Amino acid sequence: MGRPLVGVLALQGDVREHARALAECGADFSAVRRESELSEVDGLVIPGGESTTMSRLLDTFELLEPVRKRIADGMPAYGSCAGMILLAREVLDGRPDQHQLGGLDITVRRNAFGRQVDSFEEDVELTGVDGGPVRAVFIRAPWVESASPEVEVLATVPEVPGAGSAAGRIVAVRQGAKLATAFHPELTGDTRVHRLFVEMVRAAA
């Protein structure tokens, strides 16, 4: 295929940063706010922001079931931070009424890092991404508490001073055409994670 059309769920969160990274990776970008826009994209990025707010807006914009359906039907999806929370099958420390989009057989703990620190940065080795570690920026981030055997663990927090109870925690996963990171590669100018996702979109098309 030529340039895949990758949507970014544009209800809330850091949409523009993802759009820029996708463009650098040879994808066309579309802001997704309605079902007609969703139906056109080859893959969807769910940005960082606030998962409870995005969950509510998915209802308001009547996108909850359409996005769930496309995800279940195999559309590639990449969630960063709040996006990882939305793609998870189960959330700990979420709001009881917050919706899940599904797609990843993982349980995440919301605001897991935030109990000690609001944000944390570290170099993290990422399976599937060549050229050395990526700078992982965690902002009130979740971590993956548990993952089913079908889920490939791509990254864990290294055992470094400052990592505290986050050391060893799973922070990037892949299951088929679904990818998620607890951190925000869209904020660093390093587009390797987006490149991996664009490759996944191309492979699925």
Half-sphere exposure in the Cβ direction for 181 (13 Å, CA)? 29
In the residue annotation, 186 being an active-site residue is answered as yes
Q: Is 111 near ligand GLN (CB under 6 A)?
A: yes
Q: Is 51 near ligand GLN (CB under 6 A)?
A: yes
Min. distance of Cβ 119 from ligand GLN in angstroms? 9
Q: Which of 67, 82, 106, 112 binds ligand GLN (CB under 6 A)?
A: 82
Q: Would you say how long the chain is, in residues?
A: 205
Q: Is 185 near ligand GLN (CB under 6 A)?
A: no
Query: What end-to-end distance do the CA atoms of the chain give, in Å?
Result: 7
In the residue annotation, 25 being an active-site residue is answered as no
In the residue annotation, 17 being an active-site residue is answered as no
Half-sphere exposure in the Cβ direction for 118 (13 Å, CA)? 0
Name the catalytic one among 17, 18, 25, 81: 81
Q: Is 85 near ligand GLN (CB under 6 A)?
A: yes
- Closest by CA to 142, choosing from 105, 106, 174, is 106
3-state helix, strand, coil in the chain (%, to 5): 30, 30, 40
Q: Which of 110, 174, 192, 195 binds ligand GLN (CB under 6 A)?
A: 110
Q: Which stretch binds ligand GLN (CB under 6 A): 44-52, 148-156, 170-178, 186-194?
A: 44-52
Q: Is 154 near ligand GLN (CB under 6 A)?
A: no
Q: Is 81 near ligand GLN (CB under 6 A)?
A: yes
Mode of pairing for the β-strands spanning 170-175 and 88-92: unpaired
Decide whether 53 or 175 has the Cβ nearer to ligand GLN.
53
Instruction: Write out the DSSP string of 69-133.
Output: HHHHTT--EEEETHHHHHHEEEEES--TT------EEEEEETTSGGGT-SEEEEEE--TT--SS-
Q: Is 139 near ligand GLN (CB under 6 A)?
A: yes
Q: Is 12 near ligand GLN (CB under 6 A)?
A: no
Mode of pairing for the β-strands spanning 134-139 and 119-124: antiparallel
Q: Is 100 near ligand GLN (CB under 6 A)?
A: no
Residues near ligand GLN, by CB under 6 A: 48-51, 81-82, 85, 110-111, 139-140
Instruction: Tell me which residues are annotated as active site.
Output: 81, 184, 186
